[in-house]
């Protein structure tokens, strides 16, 4: 085997020496050898940079235009939602007034009868009429860092609290003034919690009518109470509770008669 050539001491400097010797872009040398004037090469480079700048500018303008259109569309959608909610509130108020008139007429016809007393009791338990009495109140909210994972209140958290109160013996429940019935839907929509498709705002005030002390003690030992104790300790959510001597919960304005037929 032939002995390898000895390694030069400056061999590692070849790359740096090459960069020093060929510091000019090879395209300039090629242009010079081909007879293309240097100013033409500069002109071509300037045209390329101009085209690139125009492309970047057009992209920026298009992005700004799309963002403005998206913001305008979002604003219009929010306004439509607010208008729909206002119209819904108006219809709910009209429905509540009609239901009151129906109850008054029923009392005039059947006042004092056993059937009317039974009807009044059923109306109260189903949410068809307002109720008043002592009870227990929960006020729940998110902690300081609502962006941390798991620290936002979701619909299932509210459902757990409501189910815990029902299990504790609540006779009637309302969330932020909205009466609950067996047909009430509590759901999440994006970042909001809705009750019968109406968005709620924080904090969430859950009122329950019944034996106040019993509601408090039984709720704390329920699955809903255990969940909220866990959320408070691990995610910084707040839950405040107190007994109330007198609560008034409205009727559920969305609860109406769908089907009826006369008794034979």
Domain segments of the chain: what residues? 130-249
Contact 167, 217 (CB under 8 A): no
6-10's contacts with Cβ under 8 Å and 24+ in sequence apart are none
Q: Helix 212-220 to helix 223-235 angle, to the nearest 10 degrees?
A: 60
How, if at all, do strands 198-199 and 192-195 pair? antiparallel
Give this prediction's pTM.
0.60
Sign of CA dihedral 70, 73, 77, 79: positive
Arch. (CATH architecture) of 130-249? 2-Layer Sandwich (3.30)
- Taking only the tens of pLDDT, the chain with its 264 residues reads 455 555 555 555 565 556 555 545 555 555 555 555 555 666 777 777 788 888 888 887 788 777 777 778 888 887 887 887 788 778 777 777 777 777 777 777 766 666 666 666 666 667 777 889 999 999 999 877 656 666 789 999 999 999 999 999 999 999 999 999 888 889 988 778 999 888 888 899 999 999 999 999 999 999 999 999 999 998 889 999 999 999 999 887 665 556 656 665
C-alpha atoms less than 13 angstroms from C-alpha of 252 in its C-beta half-sphere: 24
Angle at the Cα of 192 from the Cα atoms of 90 and 212, rounded to 5 degrees: 80
Tokens of 140: 């729940």
């Amino acid at each position: 085997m032939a002995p390898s050539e000895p390694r030069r001491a400056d061999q590692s400097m070849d790359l740096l020496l090459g960069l020093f010797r060929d510091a000019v872009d090879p395209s300039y040398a090629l242009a010079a050898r081909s007879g293309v004037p240097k100013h033409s090469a500069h002109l071509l480079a300037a045209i390329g940079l101009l085209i690139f700048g125009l492309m970047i500018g057009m992209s920026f303008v298009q992005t700004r235009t799309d963002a403005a259109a998206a913001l305008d569309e979002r604003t219009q959608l929010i306004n439509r939602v607010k208008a729909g909610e206002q119209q819904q509130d108006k219809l709910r108020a009209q429905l509540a007034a009609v239901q009151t008139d129906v109850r008054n007429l029923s009392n005039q016809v059947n006042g004092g009868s056993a059937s009317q007393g039974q009807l009044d009791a059923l109306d109260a338990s189903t949410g068809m009429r307002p109720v008043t009495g002592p009870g227990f109140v929960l006020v729940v909210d998110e902690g300081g860092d609502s962006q941390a994972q798991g620290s936002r209140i979701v619909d299932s958290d509210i459902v757990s609290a409501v189910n815990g109160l029902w299990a504790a013996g609540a006779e009637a429940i309302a969330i932020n003034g909205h009466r609950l019935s067996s047909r009430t839907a509590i759901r999440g929509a994006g970042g909001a919690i809705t009750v019968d498709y109406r968005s709620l705002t924080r904090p969430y005030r859950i009122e329950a009518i019944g034996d106040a002390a019993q509601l408090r003690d039984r709720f704390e030992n329920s699955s809903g109470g255990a969940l909220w104790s866990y959320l408070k300790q691990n995610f910084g959510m707040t839950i405040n509770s107190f007994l109330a001597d007198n609560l008034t919960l409205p009727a559920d304005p969305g609860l109406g008669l769908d089907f009826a037929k006369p008794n034979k």
